[in-house]
Amino acid sequence: MIKFTKVFKAYPKGGLALKDATFHIAKGEFAFLTGHSGAGKSTILKLIYAEERATEGEVRVSGFNLADLPPRQVPYLRRRLGIVFQDFRLLEDRTAEENVGFALQVTGARRAGIEARVMRVLTQVGLAAKAPAYPRELSGGEQQRVAIARALVNEPTVLLADEPTGNLDERATRGVFQLLRDINASGTAVVMATHDLDLVRQAPYRVIELQDGALVYDSSVDEPRGEQAAP
Amino acid sequence: MNFVMREAMLTFRRAPLLSALSVTTIAFSLFVVGLFALVAVNVQRALSQVAERAEVVAYVLPGTPIETITHALKDIEAFPEVTTASYVSEDSALARARRELVELQGPLRELERNPLPASIEVTLKPADRDADHVGAVADRIRDFSFVDDVRYGRDWIEKLDKLRSVLAAVGLAVGIAFAAVAVIIIGATIRMTVLQRGREISIMRLVGATDWFVRFPFLLQGIIKGAAGGLLAVGLSYAAYLVSNRWLMMRTEFFNPEQAAAIVAGGMIIGLFGSWISVGRQLRKV
């Protein structure tokens, strides 16, 4: 599903953001990416959705070899992924329903089916009643649910979440996390970057820990560690 | 398609001033071209009317025997440029003058002696009615010994010819200058719009919109602005045409539908070109 083999990523001015990363995330798996800010979590996610290209090494996602993926193929890769960010990235001048529908419209989906599909995912994230609301009329947790609905509406095989609970209070965090777990339970792989260790401890999922761009711990390979080991 | 169209129209609402500016600049560039074209069309028309009358008239020396003239008529009709050559005697010249110059009927009737010379009137084939051919025919006719003088509208033809080329050149040059300004302004509008909608564009890309899908509304926007500018230019040209007809008492002609359509198409091409060269560069920055 997602396979990194000896991946390096150097930014022109920022030095090495990722050093020799090798890991494999299987279909339907739930994996946390943890580590301090700047450890390389976001870089891994960006490499997965081809926002950045690896300087060295091989990245394979859903059958695409990203090293030689022509730019015009990137949209087709992204249609197989759902992406969620800390800052939600919703369009302020569109309702929840329109924000979700937007993801279908831009992929050229037929108009006839859009409304039904949008309502189905909004129901799935528990926001059917808020469909006509604008982002400013929604709480942070609700906005993140809209963003998750938008990520889900194209029925991705992988959901990438970059600090999805970073802007949320504890209650909203629990809700959003539970939603991600439910999504995973229905078969979608989830890769979630977070530095919220409480969340990480709550669930028996795989943990990949990064430090200064290097992969320092992978719970699927390494011995289990005590709670104090994770930063 | 509906979505793309809506996205394209959104800019008119979000940046109305810049949009209006692009449309106006395109309109002016095409209006200038159109205005010069309009004058050129009318000069062309006048020219062909003058050209139709561009017969060469050879005045015959008095006392030339009619046989000589008949013989010469055959020779002249054999010229490749000539359609007809006909003899107008002194008497028929006077009769015609009496008929056509109504104001002078009195004085003409009182004439004791016919002052009008006999002449040979030569008409040319339509393709040979330009200054060069008319001049060549006139020179050859002048060589006949019985010919006193040869007249034709050479000056007129040459002046109109020159005017037409000058107008076409000036119109084209000014039009191109305006079109360049229009392209720059459209480019600036696109840049502003892309910056303004940077967030939206990045989200579109994130959810898997192709480059073409992102680009198309901008191109469509350029085409729409160009078409609006073109229509405006046709409208302005029509106003200029009305003004010249009503107040300047000139009987001019307006563009035919094909020419008007060409102006609108020109606008669409300017609009498309302006957005095309800007959108790719700007989108890379988002």
Same domain, A32 and A2: yes
Structure tokens at B242: 């009305």
User: What one-letter code names the amino acid at A94?
Assistant: R
Q: What is the model's pLDDT at position B169?
A: 83
Furthest C-alpha separation in chain B: 101
Q: Under an 8 A CB cutoff, do B2 and A102 touch?
A: no
B205 vs B211: CA distance, rounded Å:
8
Which positions in chain B touch A75 (Cβ < 8 Å)? 205, 208-211, 213
Q: Under an 8 A CB cutoff, do B211 and A72 touch?
A: yes
Q: What is the model's pLDDT at position B47?
A: 67
| Residue B21, phi then psi, degrees to nearest 5 | -65, -45
Mean pLDDT is lowest, of B35-39, B108-112, B113-117, for: B108-112
Structure tokens at B74: 């055959």
Domain assignment of residue A200, given as a range: 1-80+157-164+188-231
Mean pLDDT is lowest, of A121-130, B46-55, B127-136, B144-153, for: B46-55
The number of folded domains in chain A is 2
Same domain, A88 and A55: no
Q: What is the model's pLDDT at position B64?
A: 87
Q: Under an 8 A CB cutoff, do A106 and B206 touch?
A: no
The two beta strands, A158-162 and A189-193, are parallel
Which positions in chain A touch B208 (Cβ < 8 Å)? 75-79, 103, 106-107, 154
Domains in chain B (CATH in brackets) are: 2-48+158-285 (no CATH), 55-152 (3.30.70.3040)
Per-residue DSSP letters for A45-81?
Answer: HHHHTTSS--SEEEEEETTEEGGG--GGGHHHHHTTE
Pick from A155, A174, A209: which residue ends a domain?
A155
Q: What is the model's pLDDT at position A230?
A: 46
Q: Could you tell me if A57 and A21 are in contact, meaning their C-beta atoms sit under 8 angstroms apart?
A: yes
Note the residue count of chain A. 231
CA distances from B137 to A216, B76, B86, B121, B151 (A): 100, 9, 15, 12, 11
Which positions in chain B touch A105 (Cβ < 8 Å)? 3
User: Cβ of B91: how many Cβ atoms within 10 Å?
Assistant: 11
| Residue A96, phi then psi, degrees to nearest 5 | -55, -45
Q: Which residue has the tokens 């924000």?
A: A99
Q: Under an 8 A CB cutoff, do A75 and B210 touch?
A: yes
Q: Which residues of chain A fall short of a pLDDT of 50?
A: 228-231
pLDDT at B157 exceeding the cut of 80:
no
Q: What is the model's pLDDT at position B34?
A: 80
CATH number of the domain that residue A24 is part of: 3.40.50.300
Same domain, A99 and A114: yes
Q: Under an 8 A CB cutoff, do A79 and B208 touch?
A: yes
B36 vs B170: CA distance, rounded Å:
8
Task: Tell me, yes or no, whether A67 lies in a domain.
Answer: yes
Q: What is the model's pLDDT at position B51?
A: 60
Q: Under an 8 A CB cutoff, do B208 and A154 touch?
A: yes
Pick from A155, A174, A205: which residue ends a domain?
A155
Q: Could you tell me if B23 and B228 are in contact, meaning their C-beta atoms sit under 8 angstroms apart?
A: yes
B118 vs B112: CA distance, rounded Å:
17
Q: Which among A72, A106, A154 has the least Cβ separation from residue B204? A: A106
Q: Which among B204, B206, B210 has the least Cβ separation from residue A83? A: B206
The strand order across the sheet containing A214-218 reads A64-65, A56-61, A2-11, A15-25, A214-218, A206-211, A30-34, A189-193, A158-162, A81-85
Q: Which of B180, B259, B272, B281 minimizes the C-alpha distance to B225?
A: B272
Beta-bridge partner residues of A9: A18
Task: Tell me, yes or no, whether A183 lies in a domain.
Answer: no
Per-residue DSSP letters for chain B?
Answer: -HHHHHHHHHHHHHSHHHHHHHHHHHHHHHHHHHHHHHHHHHHHHHHHHHHHT--EEEEEPTT--HHHHHHHHHHHHTSTTEEEEEEE-HHHHHHHHHHH-GGGHHHHHH-SS--PPPEEEEEE-GGG-SHHHHHHHHHHHHTSTTEEEEE--HHHHHHHHHHHHHHHHHHHHHHHHHHHHHHHHHHHHHHHHHHHTHHHHHHHHHTT--HHHHHHHHHHHHHHHHHHHHHHHHHHHHHHHHHHHHTS-----PPPHHHHHHHHHHHHHHHHHHHHHHHHHHHHH-
Q: Where are the alpha helices (DSSP H) in chain A?
A: 41-48, 74-78, 96-105, 111-124, 140-152, 170-185, 197-202
Same domain, A6 and A33: yes
Q: What is the model's pLDDT at position B125?
A: 84
Same domain, A132 and A199: no
How much is the average pLDDT of B147-156?
78
Q: What is the model's pLDDT at position B29?
A: 80
- Residue A200 is given by DSSP the state H
Same domain, A67 and A132: no
Which positions in chain A touch B216 (Cβ < 8 Å)? none
Interface confidence (ipTM) of the complex:
0.86
Same domain, A70 and A109: no
* B286: confidence class by pLDDT, cuts 50, 70, 90: low
Same domain, A67 and A87: no
Any A CB within 8 A of B77 CB = no
pLDDT at B218 exceeding the cut of 90:
no
Any A CB within 8 A of B215 CB = no
B233 vs B25: CA distance, rounded Å:
10
Phi-psi domain of A223 (left: phi exceeds 0; alpha: psi -120 through 50; beta: other): beta
Q: What is the model's pLDDT at position B103?
A: 66
Structure tokens at A179: 């939603």
Say what the alpha-carbon torsion angle B63, B68, B74, B75 is, to the nearest 10 degrees.
-100
% of residues, chain B, pLDDT over 90: 8
Same domain, A75 and A88: no
Q: What is the model's pLDDT at position A229?
A: 45
Q: What is the model's pLDDT at position A122?
A: 96
How much is the average pLDDT of B105-112?
71
